[in-house]
Amino acid sequence: MNTNTSESSLFRIASSQGGYFTALQARHAGFSNKNHRYHVRAGNWIREWRGIYRLSRFPLQEDAQYSLWGVWSQNRRGTPQGVYSHETALALFELSDLQPEKLHLTVPRGYRRHGTIPKVLHLHHANIKGSEYEERMGYRVTKPFRTIADIVRAGTISPEFIKQAVQQALDRGNLTQAQYRALKETPRVGGRLSEIMSENK
C-alpha cells in the first residue's frame, strides 16, 4: 500500500473516532509497526495511551475524552465493547446537573482487558442490546430509557437527580410516556422509580 493510500485510509478511520485510532488500525491501514515511533517523533501522531494514538492535525473535539476511551474498549475487530452509561450517560444527554468524578463505562460480562484499567474509568459489567444505545464519534452511550433503569437499579445517586433526569427526559422527548410506563413495570426499577417520582409532590 502506498503512503498516500495509507494516510487516507488512516484518516478515514480516525475521522469516525474523534481523531483517535489504535496501533492495530494503523497496521491495517498500511503502516508498519516499525514506523509508529517515527510518526510520533515527527509530530504526525500523538500517543494518548498504550496502543492508542491521535492524528495531530485532527481538530480536538469537545467530546474527545469519550472518543478516546471508546476506542480503548475496542476488540480486535475495531468494535467498541464499552458503552457509556449511568451518570456519564446522563451527562452526555444533559439530563442531570451531576458531575461524576469518573466516566462510567459498561462492558460485556466476561470482558477482559490486558494491562491497567485507566483510573478515569469506572467499569460496570452487563450486556447491552444494540437498541439500547446510540453511536457517536467513536463511542457509544446508553439511551435515556436504559440509563434511567441502570441508575435506579444501582441506587448510587440521590433521588432528586433521578427525578430531575426523568422529568427532563420526558420534557425533551428523550423518553416517551410509553417508555416511562414501561420503566414503572420493569423489575427492580418500577417500585423504586414510582417512589422517587412521587416524592415532594
User: What's the 3-state SS for the chain?
Assistant: CCHHHHHHHHHHHHHCCCCEEEHHHHHHHCCCHHHHHHHHHCCCEEEEECCEEEECCCCCCCCHHHHHHHHHCECCCCCECCEECHHHHHHHCCCCCCCCCCEEEEECCCCCCCCCCCCCEEEEECCCCHHHEEECCCCEEECHHHHHHHHHHHCCCCHHHHHHHHHHHHHHCCCCHHHHHHHHCCCCCHHHHHHHHHCCC
pLDDT at position 201 is 45
Q: What residue spans define the domains of the chain?
A: 3-55, 74-198
pLDDT at position 199 is 61
pLDDT at position 153 is 97
pLDDT at position 2 is 52
Q: What is the pLDDT along the chain (201 residues), one digit of tens a residue?
A: 556 799 999 999 999 999 999 999 999 999 999 999 999 999 999 999 999 999 999 999 999 999 999 999 999 888 999 999 999 999 999 998 888 899 999 999 989 887 889 999 999 999 999 999 999 999 999 999 999 999 999 999 999 999 999 999 999 999 999 999 999 999 999 999 999 999 644
pLDDT at position 192 is 96
